[in-house]
Amino acid sequence: MVDKLSNTELLEKVWNSSIDGMVLSDKNGIVIKANQQYYNIYGYSENEIVGQNFAIIFSVEQREIVNQQYQELFNCQDIPPKFESQIQRKDGTFRIVLSRIEFIYHNNEKIALLSVITDITEQKNYEKQILEQNEILKLAFDNEKVAWWDWDYESGNVKYSPNKATIIGYSVEEFPINVYKICDLIHPDDYEPTMKLMVEHLQGKKQYYEVIYRIKTKTNTYNYYYDFGKIIERTSDGKPKRLFGIVFNINQQKEIEIQLSQSEEKYKLIAENTSDGIFIADANGKITYVSVSYCKQLGYTEQEELLNTTKEIYNLIHPDERDELFSKIYKEIEEQKTDLIYNFRAKHKNGHYIWREDHAKYNYDKQGKLLFSTVICRDITERKTYENELIASKVKAEESDHLKSAFLRNISHEIRTPMNAICGFSDMLLKPNLSYEKQKQFTDIVHKSVNQLLSVIENTITISHIETNQLKINTIEFNPNKLILELFDEYELHKTKIEKTHIELQHKIDNQTSIVLINDYSRLKQIFKILIDNSFKFTEQGKIEFGYSITDNQINFYVIDTGLGIPKDKQEIIFKSFAQADDTIRTLFGGVGLGLSIAVGLIKLIGGQLTINSEENKGTEISFSLPIENIESSINQNIEPNKKGLENSIILVAEDEDFNFDYIEELLSETNIKIVRAINGQKAVEICKSQNVDIILMDIKMPIMNGFEATNEIRKFNKTVPIIAQTAYSYKREDCINSGFTDYIAKPFNDEQLIKIIKQYIDNE
């Protein structure tokens, strides 16, 4: 198509789509044509520019000069390739532009001038900011007290500002660049504490590295330095890669502290507590001294703002604590107490309050009259915040403990109830002369109770695995239609079992599009079953609908019901483990409150996010989305299904427990499949070597050789025979697959589940 465009059409497209402004003017300066970007830059319309002298965009005073410059430019032979200038838009604002000029010739004669205009205002502003920031940094580090360092963790080499060596007493050439050699200069008494703080930061125990240490100078003397830094870059696996920090020469401050420590008692006290605020007040409460730290603590920049005043101390204290605190102080002074501690809120200059802990020392004369008081003020806001957080955590822990206690009480009931039915009706089934109707009734009760008990156990194990991050997913390719139709068939039967045939069950799938989902089929089905079970549980009338819709590259699964609904204020708590929206729900419907917690955990695990839209007494919609892959290919299976009929097939059952083997034999009795038994893993290997079998049902826990070991041995000489793991242990399906098994079935299982998985690999048609 492109080669069919004329040159004129191509030029027109370039002209209109250019991000630069372009204007064409004749030798008299009359604008022949301009593109839209040119109008955008100057703020004029096409009607205001085309056909006018290009100088119209300048002020009246400038137009004559601009026209003269235009003629000179048009007549000159050499023109500048580009130049910058400041222009004024129609609205009066100014912009900086870069102009490039080309002449248009016809028969070797100049007939027009093409100007290409680029708005570089933002670029110039950014360059200005960079220059200003560089100047600020240069001023910050261009002194003898502070320097920066940049440590490449992997190599151990350190870059630093040029003055880093000089503030420590070395020339740039003399000062080492390797961090370990630099550390060798640290005073022996400071080395271990310094390394400890650095290691704690590198291990993530501290957010930053901060330490004061002494370093040996070139003259073998030691100076004090304050060093502060942190990790600014990590490797892809989270390990430190680069650290950056600053170092201050604080030798002078340290010398002052040493001198103060040798002075009078009150200056000694100041020196010992330089990190806290300090003030001294006379007998009348007038402040005679305040430290810089005290001023900073309260947001003041000038010490004079707090000196020579008694009113300020009173006003700084929170109104709720003011009178009580001063009454206490006056009483303790009357009793000539000396060392006291007060906790209260003090007002910051900007209006907010900080928590302070004041250590006051009262000094009296021989007659017991107050001379002056020295007060050390510590900002404990962070500590108070931490204490409040601890209190909140304690409340939360107690709430969690309450939920778990309620859960334990409830799960005891949920386990004992079906166990009572199982034990009781199993005994009744042993009674002689029991009618067929009673046998069927009691058997159904035992069967339902077993399923109920199994559900409680499985949910408890699943939530435990989720909360300890031990649950993994096994991704396969599958069409979601298969999942939805399978669930629909199951729950159509389930309605009858739970006596809710009056509830309409609907499903929605997409038959028009070939969709392949790459995810964990069994976990996705588990999520749906939790949500649909909940809907049946809390829906007495109306309908339940589930399925999916497609938007862009997302598949949106949902379950909608017309049940009880969930109040807005309860919609968050129901997703917590052991919780239900209302304790009365548990009383009415039972359950241990784990279902939605499991669903949320599983949805997060497979890459989705659960959302809920519910209205009390109207119904609930729960949905979650997953990415989809439109792959035009068939779904792969681990083993190609065997097309032989079951009646001609041979199954090897590796099972050491007699009653388990008898149970399996009974489940398969009507299939006419030939059953061969191995009582341990070693026997299973020997049988596989001596005869052909179509499928193997392998128990995991067996004597002599377990199921994993036996499967490993069989796979050495037979790569294709389907081997199904069967176990009561909570192994992950993917662990079994990775160990050579074809599939996995968990005990206990029924005839439907067992025959289904066998037919998956031995087709009975």
Segment among 99-108, 440-449, 640-649, 740-749 with least mean pLDDT: 640-649
Residue 696 in this model has a pLDDT that exceeds 90: yes
Task: Encode pLDDT of 424-444 as tens digits.
Answer: 888 888 888 888 888 888 888
CA gyration radius, the chain? 42
Segment among 479-493, 524-538, 735-749 with least mean pLDDT: 735-749
Residue 593 has a pLDDT of: 56
Average pLDDT for 718-734: 79
Segment among 87-101, 196-210, 445-459 with least mean pLDDT: 445-459
Confidence of residue 651 (pLDDT cuts 50, 70, 90): very high
Q: How far apart are CA 390 and CA 445, in angstroms?
A: 49
Q: Omega before 176 cis (within 30°)?
A: no
Which of the two residues, 353 and 287, has the higher pLDDT score? 353
616 in Cβ contact with 565 (< 8 Å): yes
Token pair in block for residue 708: 């994993």
Which of the two residues, 114 and 409, has the higher pLDDT score? 114
**Burial readout 712-736 (b: 16 or more C-beta within 10 A, e: otherwise):** ebbeeeeeebbbbbbbeeebebeeb
What distance separates the 2 farthest-apart alpha carbons in the chain?
124
Residue 247 has a pLDDT of: 85
What are the residues facing 364 on neighbouring strands?
A: 370
Task: Encode pLDDT of 406-425 as tens digits.
Answer: 666 666 767 777 888 888 88
Confidence of residue 653 (pLDDT cuts 50, 70, 90): very high
3 state SS of 105: strand
Average pLDDT, the chain: 81
Residue 561 has a pLDDT of: 94
Average pLDDT for 563-583: 62
Residue 190 has a pLDDT of: 92
Q: How far apart are CA 575 and CA 433, in angstroms?
A: 50
The CA-based dihedral angle spanning residues 42, 47, 52, 58, taken in that order and rounded to the nearest 10 degrees = -30
Token pair in block for residue 220: 């073998």
Residue 463 in this model has a pLDDT that exceeds 80: no
Residue type, 571: Q
Residue 621 has a pLDDT of: 92
3 state SS of 292: helix
Nearest to 343 by CA among 377, 373, 392, 382: 377
Confidence of residue 731 (pLDDT cuts 50, 70, 90): low
Token pair in block for residue 5: 């465009």
3 state SS of 1: coil
Q: Is 519 exposed, middle or buried (0-12, 13-18, 19+ CB in 10 A)?
A: buried
Which of the two residues, 748 and 379, has the higher pLDDT score? 379
| pTM score of the predicted model | 0.38
Residue 156 in this model has a pLDDT that exceeds 90: no
Q: Is 671 exposed, middle or buried (0-12, 13-18, 19+ CB in 10 A)?
A: buried
Segment among 42-51, 83-92, 168-177, 673-682 with least mean pLDDT: 168-177
Q: Is 59 exposed, middle or buried (0-12, 13-18, 19+ CB in 10 A)?
A: exposed
